[in-house]
A = this chain, B = another copy of it.
Amino acid sequence: MKVLSPMDAVWMYVDGPQTPMHVASLCIYSLPEGAPEGWLQGLIEKLRSHREFTAPYNLKLASPRLKSVLPTWVEAEDIDLDYHFRHSALAKPGGERELGVLISRLHSHPMDLSQPLWEVHVIEGLEGNRFAIYTKIHHSLVDGVGGIRLLIKALSADPDAREVVAPWSVGTRRSGPLPARQHAASLSKLWSGVKDRTTAMPGVAKSFASMARDAVLRAPDVALPFATPRSLLNGPVSAQRRFATQHYTLPRVKAVARAAGVTVNDVFLGLSAAALRRYLGELGALPERPLTAGVPVSVRPKGDEATANAISFIFANLNTHIEDPVARLRAIGESTRLAKERLQDLPRSGIADYTSMLMTPYILQVFSGLGGHMRPVFNLTISNVPGPDRPLYLCGARLEHLYPVSVLLHGQALNITSASYAGQFNIGFTGCRKTLPHMQRLAVFTGEALEELERSLRLGAKAPLEARAVAEQR
């Protein structure tokens, strides 16, 4: 029996019928060369033979009814593997479109809160001798960095390794083959035992609110995000999702960062900004004032092997009012530089308060039923999760792409999250089906935005243009 820490519990408070708080990864694998007919079925059977469940896969809510009052984990007994581990198939022709339809649908299904909060779906029928694994887990159990860690523990850097480790059996102690790099590592030093320093309690909403008030009094300039403009991204969201993907080679992104004098993360924000400017512009819905993004940063101490939540936020001004792409990118870089300085200036013990304060509007929205009707804190979340550097294999099947599928909140109808992997930069767009018609355009525009930056910065297109992986439910 373990009461959730406030940073884990917050995902339970905001979990609701339209805003289920599960995150997921979509991994695309290619079959090993010369794999015989039935290879995938064999893999599934090997995985299914693993019946040991290690944390967090063995945890469930003690009482789903009390999830918003006193969320508590207990170890589940009699875990029904066939409920959690599922085998699906794509409709023909099994292309990116069909995959996008299925992922959109799987990600729209709420989880049964009376079960351990995870699902692993093996998906056959993907064209080009490939298959996919969609892994869903509640955000109160993992954050992005923790999720990637869990994922890679079941994989091997050795293409010839044939050992099969089920994701639910990997445990949290043993390190993965390639530890994930520390994201925003410079921030980790700020994190000094404030986690778990308070315990969740029935009056938690009230205490969050008072923490937020304190934080604002102590650091009035952090109120800046509340100046964010309203946009179509910031209404109530529906329960249905769309999912689309895009990917680049990491060297292309790095070359743009170098040439413009910004970070890789700034380029990612710049590409998202360009795509949003164009997408909203075409709908006649681009706000005059610039859009802002909340950018989660990990505050996990170095050497912390845990997978639970250790996240704070910085704010990025997306400068969507600037027409010139390079000037826009540099302005974004300046904005994130200032935001990081501001976060580092906060007293150590203030990080948790600051983070709580940012979540407070969502918690209050949930309790008051105001979801999506309040002024947005920021217009959308754009998150960059570092993944493994080198290629990984599942029983000889190469992991080709790794896409994050994320959460939405009322007032946050779009989430753009990237994951680097083996020289690639993969982006997952998770959106509200109702709010974002033709969301695949965002993915297409993001791809074209990189080409535009390369042209403006006079970078030779040395790398051939990749095929675009655009998958989305119509």
Contact = CB atoms under 8 A, between A and B. Distances in A.
A239 B112 contact: yes
A86 B474 CA distance: 11
A474 B82 contact: yes
Interface in A24-67: 41
Contacts of A41: 92
A7 B31 CA distance: 54
A82 B112 contact: no
A354 to B, nearest CB: 33
A364 to B, nearest CB: 18
A131 to B, nearest CB: 11
A108 to B, nearest CB: 8
Nearest to A93: B41
A95 interface: no
A238 B473 contact: no
Nearest to A239: B112
A89 B86 contact: no
A80 interface: yes
Contacts of A83: 240, 433
Pick the most buried of A83, A115, A473: most chain B CB atoms within 10 A of its CB.
A83
A88 interface: yes
Pick the most buried of A17, A89, A105: most chain B CB atoms within 10 A of its CB.
A89
Nearest to A125: B89
A200 interface: no
Interface string A247-268: 0000000000000000000000
Nearest to A82: B474
Contacts of A301: none
Contact of A91 (B88, B91, B240): B88
A124 interface: yes
Contacts of A91: 87-89, 124
A86 B105 contact: yes
14 contacts: A18-B114, A41-B92, A80-B434, A82-B473, A83-B240, A83-B433, A86-B105, A87-B91, A89-B90, A89-B91, A89-B125, A108-B112, A109-B109, A114-B239
Given A87-B101, A114-B238, 11 more contacts: A17-B113, A82-B473, A83-B240, A88-B91, A89-B91, A92-B124, A108-B112, A110-B110, A112-B238, A112-B240, A114-B239
